[in-house]
Structure 1
Amino acid sequence: MQMVLASQSPARLQVLRAAGVEPLVYVSGVDEDALMASLPEEAGPESVVVALAEAKARTVAAAVAAELPDSVVVGCDSMLAHDGLLVGKPGTAEVARQRWVAMGGGTGELLTGHCVLRVRGGAVGAIASGTATTTIRFGAPSPAEIEAYLATGEPLNVAGGFTLDGYGGWFVDGIDGDPSSVIGISLPLTRRLLIEVGVSVVDLWTARA
């Protein structure tokens, strides 16, 4: 059985590889902004990240089902809930700067939506989805430290404008929750969702002790 990761995130791929799984990577091409705009106004943060994860997983599953008739497709999406707002990737240095000025010394909730689709006989079958939430306790970087961090380019293309396993780790005082979820994919949640679709994670390991 083959795992397919419906994400171009190097961090998610690294987490899975370190945990013994070598997935094939397919980028969904889902228009995240358009999808978010189509959701009901009353949709909560958890609903938003799950909807994005499911759209990615379904798009990729439809594309690979014939080629990989016995596989499991995993879609993920992460966003940061801070000060009443749900934010994704900053995209620009100016937006990232504004967010760090606002986040410094405070806390936020990193939400990661996961969706797992089981492909059997070339057809999409069982589906399971869920969210993982981790509280982030941000440090208070100085203006000079923020500018130096922005200059690395790292915060522009990651959810919330920070990482735990990169340069951003210097400015995170602590977390309450699953660290793998903050990096990009929650291993405990993914394991539980795999069980729901009838797959044991140990059957996906590429190496056994």
Structure 2
Amino acid sequence: MTARLVLASASPARRTTLRAAGLDPIVIVSGVDESQLTDLPPAELALQLAGLKCAAVAERADLPPDALVLGCDSVLEIDGEALGKPHDPAEARRRWQAMRGRSGVLHSGHCLRDVATGRTAAATGSTVVHFADVSDAEIDAYVATGEPLEVAGAFTIDGIGGAFVTRIEGDHHNVIGVSLPLLRDLVLELGHAWPDLWS
């Protein structure tokens, strides 16, 4: 029984990761307002946002009948605080000054819905990320690239920011925004075979 993956995310890194794993998702951006959820623990926030994104796209009438809709959202937890996308350079600079030489936990919520059955499976992947003790000049140069402004935690490991991450503990795909092992588990939970999603 084949199924078609629909990615409810605008993230090019998620799409690239999925394509490298043999999946070719249809991308439909959810348009969910991420600011509507507040005061949740970071891992729960990531999971709830993923659920909102999944639901927003799964309710559309123009999906393939065999669609599996995947919603994902990532937040970085430092000192118990959830850090999403900084959006402006000053905030990205402050984040990096607080993060450098330290570690945080990157939580990526995953929510997968089988449109044909209405069943949903969801889980959060968490990966510990250790940051280099970067200089103010490096922070300024990195922020000037624009890369950290629109990514959770103000960093990437698959781009310019990769040099500023010294070590991770856990699934590196999860830090990019979609954990392939976790997604496989959700696919199996909904009664599908992982190879059935390969394009």
| TM-score category (smaller protein) | over 0.9
Residue in 1 that maps onto 2:104: 108
Residue in 1 that maps onto 2:85: 89
Deviation at 1:71, TM superposition (A): 1.1
Deviation at 1:183, TM superposition (A): 0.7
From 24, 29, 32, the counterpart of 1:30: 32
State the identity %: 50
Kindly indicate whether residue 160 of structure 2 is the aligned counterpart of residue 163 of structure 1: no
Paired with 1:143 and 1:86, the residues of 2 have a C-alpha distance of 23
Deviation at 1:185, TM superposition (A): 0.4
From 132, 138, 153, the counterpart of 1:139: 132
From 41, 50, 55, the counterpart of 2:52: 55
Deviation at 1:83, TM superposition (A): 1.9
The one-letter amino acid of 2:65's match is: P
Secondary structure class of the residue paired with 1:125 = coil
- List structure 1 segments (4+ residues) > 4 angstroms apart after TM superposition: none
Deviation at 1:79, TM superposition (A): 0.2
- Contact 2:42–2:80 under 8 Å retained in 1: no
From 118, 123, 127, the counterpart of 1:125: 118
Query: What is the CA deviation profile of residues 5-60 of structure 1, one whole-angstrom value per residue up to 9, with x for unaligned ones?
Result: 000000000000000000000001111101x13xxx4x322221111001100110
Paired with 1:141 and 1:173, the residues of 2 have a C-alpha distance of 11
Residue in 2 that maps onto 1:190: 183
Segments of 5+ residues of structure 2 without an aligned counterpart are: none
Paired with 1:46 and 1:110, the residues of 2 have a C-alpha distance of 9
Residue in 1 that maps onto 2:13: 11
TM-score, normalising length from structure 1?
Answer: 0.92
Residue in 1 that maps onto 2:66: 70
Paired with 1:50 and 1:84, the residues of 2 have a C-alpha distance of 16
- Contact 2:41–2:82 under 8 Å retained in 1: no
The one-letter amino acid of 1:103's match is: M
Secondary structure class of the residue paired with 2:31 = coil
Paired with 2:89 and 2:79, the residues of 1 have a C-alpha distance of 20
Deviation at 1:84, TM superposition (A): 2.3
Deviation at 1:199, TM superposition (A): 1.4
Deviation at 1:69, TM superposition (A): 1.1
After superposition, the CA RMSD in angstroms is 1.0
Query: What is the CA deviation profile of residues 110-137 of structure 1, one whole-angstrom value per residue up to 9, with x for unaligned ones?
Result: 00000000011xxx51100000000001
Paired with 1:156 and 1:14, the residues of 2 have a C-alpha distance of 19
Deviation at 1:106, TM superposition (A): 0.3
- Contact 2:9–2:71 under 8 Å retained in 1: yes
Paired with 1:154 and 1:101, the residues of 2 have a C-alpha distance of 16
Paired with 1:152 and 1:178, the residues of 2 have a C-alpha distance of 26
Secondary structure class of the residue paired with 1:63 = coil
